[in-house]
Amino acid sequence: MKRPNAPAKSGIVDRVRRFEIQGLGAVGRGRNVPYLLLGIALILFPVLDSDSSHVNVAADAGHWILLALGLNIVVGYAGLLDLGYAAFFAIGSYAFAIMASGQFNIHISFWILLPVSAFIAALFGVFLGAPTLRLRGDYLAIVTLGFGEIVPRVFRNATPITGGVNGIVGIDQPHLPSILGWSGKFGFNPVPWYYLILAVLVLSLFLINNLRNSRLGRAWMAIREDEVAAAATGINTVTTKLLAFALGASFSGFAGTYYASKLFLVVPESFSFQAVSVVVLVMVVLGGMGNIRGVIVGAILIYFIQTYLLIQLPNWISSATAALNIDFLTKLDIASYVQRSNYLIFGIILAGIMLLRPQGLIPSAQRKAELELGTSEEAVADLGSA
């Protein structure tokens, strides 16, 4: 990944060698030191920072990172544009909410439901993917968009099951045996939530990293770069894409369980295209499709912009204009414009990144080469006519 200037159209032997070099580099000693330090810093963070609101922000950012990592499998690795990722997030959240709340008086433990709702989300990934994954890339994007619109509407309308517009309130929380003077209850204390999402993230990173370098991961990337060629080398493209879809969905299932439990409630409005699908896509595209570090940075950056910058900036501007006391500036009311520029900022990031730096902030070497070389006649297998 440290070789951005890889020769264009290098021979297959060179490319394989590059793979090997990267692989060795990743396990080589010394390179892990910064990560080790980062890990220690992350573990100590709630202890060192006594302001629990900061810990809470970090805990909330965690589930966005998880979502971005999941979408990255679909978009970044397998090259399938999923515009309805919110649907799986919603399914995960509601699956947990229904089975762990007063809604039907079912109270299954959080720890059991965490994998269960991820599995349910993955199942819906297969359910949607199985008939549609043989479609061309852009058709698939629209199918997922349609699915992403259907799911929240179903949850909003199926009032007897999902509580309708009001959603489900009073969702159960995880319990642990009390240790070190901590009661084992999560509640509104952000610290245990922070450690929980940190643990889930570490586990996910371990999984994704191994997946990426596995036979399956290489098959994903082969499909992304040339589906016909991948099929010709014996990759079962439908199964491989389906696995990307299901695994990507399962991560949003994890995230959904965490989200529903932490927030205490689920409402259909929080799973709209604008609120989730696009936001997560922006995170992945901004950071660098196909690159784990890039995606994490992208997720944190977007989360920061959304929850801090866009909320604080108007205050700073209005206090600045008030301090300057220039009538003209006060009348312009720039602050209210900034506050409302969420859409615009996301749009500019999405379009701007694709136009100016399609590889994202932290590019994945392969993805970069692919995007820059780019072929006008991208081959897409049409199994329908095969």
Minimum CB separation of residue 347 from another protein in Å reads: 3
Check: CB of residue 200 under 8 Å from CB of residue 258.
yes
Check: CB of residue 301 under 8 Å from CB of residue 295.
no
Q: Which of 102-110, 298-306, 315-323, 377-385 is the region at the interface with another protein (rule: CB under 8 A)? A: 377-385
Minimum CB separation of residue 173 from another protein in Å reads: 32
- The yes or no reply on residue 143 touching another protein (CB under 8 A) is yes
Neighbours of 54 (CB within 10 A): 14
Reduced to 3 states (helix: H, G, I; strand: E, B; else coil), residue 106 is strand
Q: Which residues of 203-215 are buried (b: 16+ CB within 10 A; e: fewer)?
A: ebbeebeebbeee
- The yes or no reply on residue 45 touching another protein (CB under 8 A) is no
Minimum CB separation of residue 322 from another protein in Å reads: 22
Minimum CB separation of residue 273 from another protein in Å reads: 7
Contact code string over 245-274 relative to another protein, x by CB under 8 A: ----------------------------xx
Total residue length of the chain: 386
DSSP 83: S
Distance CA 174, CA 96 (A): 12
**CB within 8 A of 244, min separation 6: which ones?**
73, 74, 77, 78, 80, 220
For another protein, the binding residue among 110, 194, 220, 346 (CB under 8 A) is: 346
46 or 70: CB nearest another protein: 70
87 or 100: CB nearest another protein: 87
Neighbours of 142 (CB within 10 A): 14
- The yes or no reply on residue 349 touching another protein (CB under 8 A) is yes
CA dihedral 259, 262, 267, 273 (to 10 degrees): -30
Minimum CB separation of residue 382 from another protein in Å reads: 5
For another protein, the binding residue among 153, 175, 185, 215 (CB under 8 A) is: 153
Contact code string over 315-344 relative to another protein, x by CB under 8 A: ----------------------x--xxxxx
Question: Which residues on adjacent β-strands are paired with residue 265?
Answer: 169
Contact code string over 172-201 relative to another protein, x by CB under 8 A: ------------------------------
Neighbours of 272 (CB within 10 A): 16
Check: CB of residue 68 under 8 Å from CB of residue 299.
yes
Size of the site for another protein (CB under 8 A): 58
192 or 248: CB nearest another protein: 248
> Tokens 């014996």 correspond to what residue?
234
Which run of H or of E encompasses 22? Answer: helix 12-27
* Residue 299 token pair: 């997720």
- The yes or no reply on residue 352 touching another protein (CB under 8 A) is yes
Distance CA 41, CA 49 (A): 11
Q: Which of 138-146, 175-183, 252-260, 308-316 is the region at the interface with another protein (rule: CB under 8 A)? A: 138-146
- The yes or no reply on residue 309 touching another protein (CB under 8 A) is no
Minimum CB separation of residue 142 from another protein in Å reads: 6
**CB within 8 A of 90, min separation 6: which ones?**
151, 152, 155, 256, 266, 268, 271, 276
Residues that bind another protein (CB under 8 A): 75, 79, 81, 83, 131-132, 135-139, 141-143, 145-147, 149-150, 153-154, 156-157, 273-274, 278, 281, 285, 337, 340-352, 354-355, 358, 370-371, 374-382, 384-385
